[in-house]
Amino acid sequence: MSRVLITTDYLRPGDEVDQYLRSAGLTTRHDPMTGPRDPEQLVSALAGMDAALIANEPFSADLLARAPQLKVVVRTGVGYDSVDVEAARGLGITVSNLPGVNANAVAEYTLGLLITSARRLIDSATGVAAGTWPREDGNELRGATLGLFGFGAAARAVLPLAQAFGMDVVCTTRSPESERDATGVRFVSFAELLATADYVSIHSSLTNRTRGLFDASAFARMKKTAILINTARGAIVDEHALAAAVRSGTIAGAALDVVTEEPMPAESPLRGIKGITVCSHLAGQTAQARRATGLAGAEELVAALEGRPRFAVT
């Protein structure tokens, strides 16, 4: 009987995901990730485990090598940069993600950040809470240009929502021409996206190419009135450069759902800067998306253990 470690914090013993895995003949153990933890704790939790349904905690080469029974790792989300995929491949471990599973949730959240930024809602609410009555002008989205960096499932789901608000949409992507079948979006170079977009929304995976791509030189090419939105991966943005760009007025601000280190440390350069709003990685966290993600992850895990994974990245 195969044993499964579950670290995703919203999955619980006895829930429908647990029942699904047990009905497939698996034994489950829950050890939820609720924040950073000593790698040795995870090594101990993986002892004797054949598979793992995981959150976004690091599965390094060293950790994988110390889990000799492990055959399958399934990430309950889209990104899988926390797993050393090459090390897993060398050890014969199947690693899967769940592409597109929370795209609608991320798209709606992205529009929420756009509206919040455009209408200065955070400034207004915090001002009222502090006893003042802020009355600064905001901006309408209609007629503004949204730049999508990446064109995966979430970005594709953002497109019709942005169009419904009357926004023009441009996109930079490495997707092949055959996958650029959407109407109402103009595909442009990265340089043109930076120069023309009023709002730049990141929807890319974290790779060696994208790590730190939004740096001082990128911000210098953006409009002074531009807002950066990031619901993808924190490390795509150079946080020190972003803080300096907003502080100096190089760009107008940023609304971030992700940061390089989560939870965001007290010494983060993003703290205390007017114009930068940071949320706690909630873009994909709706009740509907969580349910879909948990069940899809369980189904992928069972399939992978049976040698028929659908979304393997190794």
Of the candidates 2, 18, 232, the residue with the CA atom closest to the CA atom of residue 107: 232
Active-site position among 233, 239, 290, 300: 233
Residue 94: count other Cβ atoms within 10 Å of its Cβ. 23
Of the candidates 36, 92, 34, 38, the residue with the CA atom closest to the CA atom of residue 64: 92
Q: Is 300 a catalytic residue?
A: no
Active-site position among 262, 271, 308, 310: 262
Residue 189: exposure state from Cβ atoms within 10 A (0-12, 13-18, ≥19): exposed
Residue 72, SS3 per DSSP: strand
φ/ψ (deg, to 5) at 153: -60, -40
Residue in this structure with the two tokens 């101990």, named with its chain if needed: 44
Q: Please state, in angstroms and rounded to a whole number, the distance separating the CA atoms of residues 212 and 280.
A: 20
Q: Please state, in angstroms and rounded to a whole number, the distance separating the CA atoms of residues 2 and 23.
A: 12
Q: How far is CA 142 from CA 130, 202, 223, 236, in A?
A: 31, 20, 18, 28
Look up residue 12 and give its amino acid: R
φ/ψ (deg, to 5) at 219: -65, -35
Active-site position among 211, 281, 291, 299: 281
Q: Is 233 a catalytic residue?
A: yes
C-beta contacts of 209-218 below 8 A and 24+ residues apart? 210/236, 211/235, 211/236, 212/236, 212/237, 212/238, 214/238, 214/241, 214/242, 215/241, 216/241, 216/244, 216/245, 218/194
The catalytic residue positions are: 233, 262, 281
